[in-house]
Structure 1
Amino acid sequence: MEKNETKIKSIETYRGAIPLHTPFKTALRTVTVAETIIVKITCADGTAGWGEAPPTHVITGESLASIDYVIHSIFKPLLIGESLQMREKLFQKIESSVVRNTSAKAAVDMALYDCIAKQANLPLYQFIGGVQESIETDYTVSVNTPEEMAQDAKKYIENGFSILKVKVGKDEIATDIKRIQAIRNVIGTDVPIRLDANQGWQAKEAVRAIRLMEELDLGIELIEQPVIAHDLEGLKYVTENTETPIMADESVFSVYDAKRVLDMGAADLINIKLMKTGGIHQAIKIATLAEAFGVKCMVGSMIETKIGITAAAHFAASHPNIAHYDLDAPLMLIGDIANGGISYKNNQIQLGNAAGLGIQTINELYVAEKA
């Protein structure tokens, strides 16, 4: 080993599973257990980095088996023996070695960034940028009856959250309107509400629904992904025919997707998720490109554990173009899969001063097996 060079020695994976305390329902799916593949990269000097990838079939197309296969059969042979000091080479290898498989890429990407920041003896958010030391997350209200959603919203506000993200798009628009009205009746008009339709509407009905919400003065801050992901013309139609800011989510996986959305003016905002982008390295490119267009971004997530959300939070706190944060997933779980990492104080996410992600160990209670 050359002086001051640290090489990758091993890549291991583990299967984890943590139940949610309440089923999470959207227009696309219902989740009761957060399943994930945990990645540990160990370097020759003993430095260890952590990452994770949950299977989200309806969005990324990946399963536990496919994620594990790609990590061991494709990334592992490419990365073992490579130097952390040549990090651009590492991330190019990850991106070019296999198409899609973005969650598998993200897990390895964040574990590498964890190792690299630890080598620099800096928290990851400081190593890659350093904009703020804490961020404020919203809390998500799952799709249920209007009455149930109103009570959930009230509980979240009482628990210290000041922004709500409300899931819609699962059934008739009239029902969605009733849901929002019921929530407004119990939380008042001062709390910002974000809507996420998860691709649940057609373009014209989305415009009708949003215009009605505007006429009813429901106070919607923004609306995520009103139409199906591939319908950029429809997304543009909704954006141009409503006053409420429209955010692209599932329509943007790569920097190339982002460029097309931005060139078209198809959305007012972009939601960046590490599991869609393939990790932090590509996420930085999307945030920087959007900044050049004057388009702000949100950092969101899938149903991930504290490992993935810690990486997302560090990225979110590192870039000046990130204006919104949707990183509440660990709060939906009955426990923590990792010791260390971010901490929550009501709606505030504290990043801490530990080097890298600050993840120390994984909790064997929630790790089913070594993959």
Structure 2
Amino acid sequence: MRILDVEVTCRNILLERPFKTALRTATEIDSIEVTIHLENGVVGMGSAAPTWVITGDSTESIQAALLGPIKKILLNQHMDNFQSLLMDIQTSCVGNTSAKAAADIAMYDAYSKLLGIPLYRYLGNHKHLKTCMTIGVDTPEIMSKNAIKNVDSGFKSLKVKVGSAPELDMARVSAIRAVIPPDVTLRLDANQGWTPKQAVQLINQMERENLNIEFIEQPVAAHDLEGLKFVTNNVNIPIMADESLFSPHDALKLVSGKYIDLLNIKLMKCGGISNALKIASIAETAGVHCMIGSMMESDQSVAAAAHFAVAHPNVRYFDLDAPLWLKEQPEFMKYVGEDITLSTQPGISKV
């Protein structure tokens, strides 16, 4: 079954409310969508969203990579060579992980549709999904109010953004913990906002005050692996790599060097499902559990991440709330409070 065409379109999606982290404030996103057409009429769909401050990818660079080197290596190729084509996507150009992710997702969608099964069945497993909800960085008062609102909406796990003002972070987390039930889990994401010494000081204080933090994401700069290891070795709360992890090679270095306790996999960072599977398996061999995360992106690509997450046994944590921040209603996944349901139709289909 040959690939006849690769189409790329772009649309703008507004957010319900600003999404604030230590790295950026977003009020809208561009969704770059790729459609792969097979000669029997089957289409595979994927999408990507640019995140300058993390991946370095822009709307223009994603479109250029998809319509240039990626389209060139896919056109007129046979889907019988599915795995080889996935590798060709990754080697088609340097960087451009978001464009590669969109094409990779579209290929997985098309292939599982050819087989007539949902993507998670092709990948070989299925488990129940419960996502956390993100509390954007703000004043302690606003963040605690948002925490109450989300707990009342059915979320038992909150991901709290910190790091934009380290001197305020203790107040932020303490304010949230004071107003939510003790059985609600808190996860922190510093988005590289602390120095190693700041991180250790803050985390040790959180431990002394029994704030009950499940884990902390990327406390220090992505490139500072020795700083990351210093934090990991000097606190009790598990430390998770996010921006330090882009590739299977990064995963191998992080787990073999014991720089972290946990890994956060995002399709836009690693280039899609094929590399996400490799990262999760590398981590599994080292006894390191993974979380599936997402950028601020459309529900189509988040649903692809969800299909991967329910299928790989080493993905133990789920951060897939991005579609709930968008003004448009999710179509590829259904949310009821923290519970996520995926379609039972072939591929990555609408629910």
| TM bracket (short chain) | over 0.9
Within the candidate set 173, 191, 196, 2:189 is matched to 196
Give the equivalent residue in structure 2 for 1:109: 104
Show the 5 A alignment for 1:128-143: 128-132=123-127, 134-143=128-137
- The SS at the match of 2:83 is helix
Show the 5 A alignment for 1:72-83: 72-83=67-78
Once the two structures are TM-superposed, the CA of residue 42 in structure 1 deviates from its matched residue by 1.1
Once the two structures are TM-superposed, the CA of residue 188 in structure 1 deviates from its matched residue by 2.7
The yes-or-no answer on 1:157 pairing with 2:151 is yes
The yes-or-no answer on 1:343 pairing with 2:338 is no
8 Å CA contact retained: 1:50, 1:359: no
Runs of 4+ residues over 2 Å off in structure 1: none
In structure 2, C-alpha distance between the alignment counterparts of 1:352 and 1:96, rounded to whole Å: 31
Identity %: 47
Give the equivalent residue in structure 1 for 2:10: 15
Within the candidate set 63, 67, 70, 1:68 is matched to 63
Once the two structures are TM-superposed, the CA of residue 140 in structure 1 deviates from its matched residue by 0.0
In structure 2, C-alpha distance between the alignment counterparts of 1:77 and 1:221, rounded to whole Å: 45
Give the equivalent residue in structure 1 for 2:163: 169
Cα deviation 1:335-364 (Å, max 9, x = unaligned): 14x7x421111111101211000149xxxx
Show the 5 A alignment for 1:212-251: 212-251=205-244
Residues 14 and 359 of structure 1: CA distance in aligned 2, closer, same or farther (over 3 Å): farther
Give the equivalent residue in structure 1 for 2:204: 211
- TM-score normalised by structure 2 residue count: 0.98
Which amino acid in the other structure matches residue 94 of structure 1?
A: I
In structure 2, C-alpha distance between the alignment counterparts of 1:225 and 1:270, rounded to whole Å: 10
8 Å CA contact retained: 1:193, 1:220: yes
- The SS at the match of 2:77 is coil
Instruction: Give the length in aligned residue pairs.
Output: 351
In structure 2, C-alpha distance between the alignment counterparts of 1:341 and 1:169, rounded to whole Å: 32
Unaligned 5+ segments in structure 1 are: 1-5, 361-371
Once the two structures are TM-superposed, the CA of residue 263 in structure 1 deviates from its matched residue by 1.1
Q: State the superposition RMSD in angstroms.
A: 1.0
Which amino acid in the other structure matches residue 44 of structure 1?
A: E
Unaligned 5+ segments in structure 2 are: none
The yes-or-no answer on 1:285 pairing with 2:285 is no
Show the 5 A alignment for 1:326-341: 326-336=319-329, 340-341=331-332
- The SS at the match of 2:311 is coil
The yes-or-no answer on 1:267 pairing with 2:253 is no
Once the two structures are TM-superposed, the CA of residue 116 in structure 1 deviates from its matched residue by 0.3
Once the two structures are TM-superposed, the CA of residue 159 in structure 1 deviates from its matched residue by 0.5
- TM-score normalised by structure 1 residue count: 0.93
Cα deviation 1:249-281 (Å, max 9, x = unaligned): 010100000111011100000000000110000
Give the equivalent residue in structure 1 for 2:246: 253
Cα deviation 1:43-92 (Å, max 9, x = unaligned): 11111111111010000001000000000011111101111111111011
Within the candidate set 30, 34, 47, 2:29 is matched to 34
8 Å CA contact retained: 1:146, 1:183: yes
